[in-house]
């Protein structure tokens, strides 16, 4: 029988068994046919540059790994769905980085265009448009060319070797394959009729990736790769597998580095000869700084000139608009005046005619006027004439509002005015825009409303601008715009607020809304002058313009104007709904 102390010791050592012996090994996925990076050798064992590099990282970090090489598409899907822990060879892209986590790349993979020797030479991806192109299914170039709209021209295959065999057999015009695997496959399978016609058309960062959120494994792989690079083991693995197959550009770079070893001693000798030129370099640097400053000043002056030109153009357009509106208003008012003048007579004639018809035509059911039964005409014709008269009056009112809005008024011309009347005139001007933008426009006018001292045309300009901005902020017609006038006793002001249920304003933009030329709608033609001009008008009137835009709740703009106190005291007449001087 074991003693209690012996049992405790045994239990203690069982608990201290190495976790590495009990833990599940890391499942490493990869492409079974992507030589020399990763492939299955003749015995079905994982081999290649990626495999040896992964084993070296696992060894230096004390990790257990199990390789499961297969078809590339399935491997990528297995990583995303968590059936494997790690892909040891995958090119980086923003789209992929949103779904999986990468460690720093260990290699740059250059892709090339391959063709048969007798095929026309192409030098870029753009020249492949309309050609039949084969490539590795779900590889980085397949994704990139599909995004560029090459989809109908692409013939994806399971492996790069299948793509090159299809090209060699004449099944397509060109193939896009990584240069190192391409040259390896051509050599191994003796596809002597194939040549690379455009090298390094795309350089992709290539390395390990783990499933999204596996930060612990990501950190260990990053540390292991850094250790291999510091110890030189990474360079040995890279040279052994890829050194003889790297593109010519890399070999040239190595030659340049070797040449530098010879050139450096020569530069040391020439350095003494160059010492005397230091003062000249200093003078050149000073002159360069002067030129840079002059260029910056000139650029600033040109930008200011362009801004002034834009303001002059805008002012000229507004002046032309005033002339145009006056002319159009005159042409509209003349015929509209005839309608308003003749409509009462027509209404009287209609009433008399209908009365005579009823007196002298007993069989009224048989009478048809304008193709309609008499009784319907008797009921609807007076209403139609009233609608026509109301429409003509509305035309007259809109034309008068347009003339007032476009009139070049004197900024100093201030007079007591009812803010409700100014707001209603602005609403009439933009009524069509409001109907187009929303099905829910609501206006609430506080009455009685004290008078304010101001210029009605300028205040109307502010309100038109605020209402048009609210229309442009809406994303669909079911969102509303709400206007309200009110008295703010705390500040002794009269106010109007315009609230929309639109897209809102970013918090970082709120403080800049009234800056000249600041706009978030430049691509749709915004100039950034509307709110800046409005703020200037408000300042002239001694008022304030306030903006509020809580996230997801649209925007509210509040205009406050001081109540007029210098003029004689006014009282409100509820019958006429107007303000009158006291004692008048």
For 29-68, what is each residue's pLDDT tens digit? 999 999 999 999 999 999 999 999 999 999 999 999 999 9
Write the pLDDT tens digit of every residue in 367-377.
777 778 877 88
Going by their DSSP bridges, the two strands 107-116 and 194-211 should be labelled as antiparallel
Angstrom distance (rounded) from CA 382 to CA 355:
12
Residue 259 to residues 251, 253, 437, Cα–Cα distance (Å): 12, 10, 70
The pLDDT of residue 22: 41
SS3 45: coil
Residue 288 to residues 119, 181, 279, Cα–Cα distance (Å): 52, 49, 14
The pLDDT of residue 3: 53
Write the pLDDT tens digit of every residue in 80-135.
999 999 999 999 999 999 999 999 999 999 999 999 999 999 999 999 999 999 99
The pLDDT of residue 382: 86
How many residues are present in the chain? Answer: 584
Angstrom distance (rounded) from CA 370 to CA 34:
85
Q: Which two tokens stand for residue 317?
A: 């357009």
According to DSSP, residue 104 is labeled: P
Residue 482 to residues 475, 479, 501, Cα–Cα distance (Å): 16, 10, 9
Q: What is the CATH number of domain 411-581?
A: 3.30.565.10
Q: What is the CATH number of domain 21-252?
A: 3.40.190.10
The pLDDT of residue 343: 87
Asked whether the beta carbons of 36 and 48 are under 8 A apart, the reply is yes
Place of tokens 């005046």: 337
Angstrom distance (rounded) from CA 560 to CA 539:
10
Angstrom distance (rounded) from CA 370 to CA 375:
12
Whole-angstrom distance between the N-terminal and C-terminal Cα of the chain? 121
* Distance of alpha carbon 72 from the chain centroid: 34
Asked whether the beta carbons of 454 and 493 are under 8 A apart, the reply is no
* Nearby residues of 563 by Cβ (< 8 Å), 6 or more positions away: 450, 451, 452, 487, 492, 493, 494
- Burial degree of 536 (CB within 10 A; 0-12, 13-18, 19+): middle
Among candidate residues 504, 511, 433, the one with its CA nearest the CA of residue 475: 504
Using alpha carbons only, what angle is made at residue 503 by residues 499 and 509, rounded to the nearest 5 degrees?
90
The pLDDT of residue 316: 61
**Residue 385, number of CB atoms within 10 A of its CB:** 17
Report, as ranges of residue numbers, the positions in the chain whose pLDDT lies below 50.
Answer: 1-2, 5-22, 248-251, 408, 411, 525, 567-569, 582-584
Going by their DSSP bridges, the two strands 86-91 and 26-31 should be labelled as parallel
* Nearby residues of 530 by Cβ (< 8 Å), 6 or more positions away: 465, 469
């Amino acid at each position: 029988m074991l003693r209690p102390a012996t049992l405790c010791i045994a239990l203690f050592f069982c608990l201290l068994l190495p976790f590495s012996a009990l833990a599940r090994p890391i499942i490493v996925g990869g492409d079974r046919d992507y030589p020399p990076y990763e492939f299955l050798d003749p015995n079905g064992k994982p081999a290649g540059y990626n495999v040896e590099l992964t084993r070296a990282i696992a060894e230096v970090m004390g990790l257990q790994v199990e390789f499961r090489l297969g078809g590339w598409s399935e491997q990528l899907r297995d990583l995303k769905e968590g059936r494997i822990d790690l892909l040891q060879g995958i090119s980086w892209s923003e789209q992929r980085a949103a779904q999986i986590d990468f460690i720093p790349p260990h290699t740059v993979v250059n892709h090339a265009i391959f063709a048969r020797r007798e095929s026309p030479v192409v030098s870029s991806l753009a020249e492949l448009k309309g050609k039949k192109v084969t490539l590795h299914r779900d590889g980085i170039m397949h994704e990139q060319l599909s995004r560029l709209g090459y989809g109908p021209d692409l013939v994806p295959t399971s492996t790069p070797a299948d793509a090159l065999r299809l090209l060699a057999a004449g099944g397509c015009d060109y193939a896009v394959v990584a240069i190192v695997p391409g040259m390896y496959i051509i050599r191994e399978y003796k596809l002597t009729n194939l040549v690379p016609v455009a090298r390094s058309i795309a350089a992709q960062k290539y390395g390990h990736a783990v499933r999204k959120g596996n930060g612990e494994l990501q950190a260990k792989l990053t540390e292991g790769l850094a250790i291999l690079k510091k110890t030189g083991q990474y360079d040995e693995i890279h040279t052994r597998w890829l050194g003889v197959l790297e593109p010519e550009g890399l070999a040239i770079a190595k030659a340049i580095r070797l040449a530098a070893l010879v050139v450096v001693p020569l530069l040391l000798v020439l350095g003494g000869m160059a010492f005397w030129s230091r003062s000249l370099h200093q003078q050149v640097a000073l002159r360069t700084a002067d030129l840079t400053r002059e260029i910056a000043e000139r650029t600033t002056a040109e930008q200011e000139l362009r801004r002034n030109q834009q303001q002059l153009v805008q002012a000229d357009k507004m002046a032309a608009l005033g002339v145009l509106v006056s002319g159009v208003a005159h042409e509209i008012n003349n015929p509209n005046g005839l309608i308003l003048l003749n409509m009462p007579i027509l209404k009287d004639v209609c009433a008399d005619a209908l009365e005579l018809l009823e007196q002298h035509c007993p069989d009224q059911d048989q009478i048809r006027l304008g193709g309609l039964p008499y009784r319907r005409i008797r009921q609807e014709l007076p209403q139609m004439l009233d609608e026509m008269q109301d429409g003509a009056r509305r035309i007259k009112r809109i034309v008068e509002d347009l003339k007032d809005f476009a009139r070049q008024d004197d900024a100093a011309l201030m007079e007591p005015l009812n803010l409700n009347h100014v707001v209603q005139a602005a609403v009439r001007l933009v009524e069509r825009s409001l109907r187009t933008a929303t099905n829910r426009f609501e206006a609430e006018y506080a009455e009685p409303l004290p008078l304010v001292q101001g210029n009605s045309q300028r205040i109307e300009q502010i309100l038109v601008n605020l209402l048009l901005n609210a229309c442009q902020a809406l994303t669909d017609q079911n969102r509303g715009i709400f206007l309200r006038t009110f008295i703010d006793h705390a500040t002794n002001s009269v106010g109007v607020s315009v609230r929309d249920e639109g897209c809102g304003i970013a918090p970082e933009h709120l403080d800049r809304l009234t800056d000249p030329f600041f706009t978030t709608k430049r691509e749709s033609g915004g100039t950034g002058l509307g709110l800046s001009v409005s703020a200037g008008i408000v300042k002239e009137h001694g008022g304030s313009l306030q903006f509020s835009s809580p996230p997801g709740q649209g925007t509210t703009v509040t205009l406050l104007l001081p109540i007029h106190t210098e003029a004689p005291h006014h009282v409100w007449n509820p019958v006429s709904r107007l303000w009158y001087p006291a004692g008048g």
